[in-house]
Amino acid sequence: MPALAVITINLTFREDLAICQPPYSAPTINRRECIMSSLPASSHPRWLRLTHWLNALAVLVMVTSGWRIYNASPLYEFSFPASITLGGWLGGALQWHFAAMWLLAFNGLVYLILNLFSGRLKRRFFPVSPRGVLHDLWAALRGRLGHADPSHYNQVQRVAYLFVMVDIALLVISGLVLWKSVQFPLLRELVGGYEGARHVHFIAMALLVAFVAVHLLMVALVPKTLWAMIVGRKEPV
C-alpha cells in the first residue's frame, strides 16, 4: 500500500510537470512560475504565523504584568495572586508592560495591514450576520459544527476574531489614557476620564483573557489547528 501511494504521488507530480512544458498559455510565464502556481498554497502563511505568535507573547506579558500593576492599586475588592503576575514589584511590572505594549502595538498594526492588503480580512471574516452566528452557535453547542478545513472560519469564529481586534484596540486606547492622560485629552474624554479608563482597561483585559481561554479550549478540541499555526497547513488553491 505505501508503494502504491508513492507511485500515485510520483505520477501526479509527473503530470504536473508535463502540464508545465512550453509553449505556456501566457507569454510572460516561465516554467518555474508554472510549477509553483500548481503547488498548494498555505492556509496559514509565514507572516500570519509570525504575527500570531508575537501577538500571543505580547498579550501574555501585558496581562501578567498588568495584574501586578493592578495589585499596586486595586480597582475592585480583590487582587491577583503574586505567583501568576510578572515583574516582581511595581517598577519591574511597568517595565515589562511598556516593553510588551510596543510589541503589541506595532505587531498588531502589521497584522491588520497585511490582512487588509492581502484581502484575507474580507475572505476570512466576512460576511457575518446575526442569523448565521446563531445558526453556527447552535450547531457548535450540539457538537455538529465541522472543523474539517482550518482555513474556513465559521460565523462564530468570525465574530470572535473581529471582537478581539476591537477589544485590543480599546485596550490600546484606554492604556494610552492611563499612561499619558494629559497628552491625550480627546481619548480621555472618550473613555470617561482617567478613572473611566481604568474600568475600561480592566474590562477589556478580562474579555481578552476570556477569549484566550475559549481559544485554547477550541485548540485542545481541534489539535490540527495548532499544527497549522506552527507549520502552515497546505491546501489546494
Same domain, yes or no, for 26 and 129?
no
Q: Tell me, what's the pLDDT at 42?
A: 57
Same domain, yes or no, for 168 and 148?
yes
Same domain, yes or no, for 26 and 77?
no
- Within the chain, which residues score under 70 in pLDDT? 1-43, 147-151, 233-237
Q: Tell me, what's the pLDDT at 4?
A: 40
Are 224 and 231 contacting, i.e. CB atoms less than 8 angstroms apart? no
Q: Tell me, what's the pLDDT at 154?
A: 86
Q: Tell me, what's the pLDDT at 8?
A: 39
Same domain, yes or no, for 74 and 121?
yes
Same domain, yes or no, for 121 and 162?
yes
Counting the structural domains of the chain, the total is 2
Q: Tell me, what's the pLDDT at 226?
A: 86
Same domain, yes or no, for 123 and 80?
yes
Q: What is the DSSP string of 73-112?
A: S-SSS----GGG-SSSSHHHHHHHHHHHHHHHHHHHHHHH
Q: Tell me, what's the pLDDT at 172?
A: 92
Domain of 30 in residue numbering reads as 1-39
pLDDT tens digits for range 92-143: 999 999 999 999 999 999 999 999 999 988 888 988 899 999 998 888 888 7
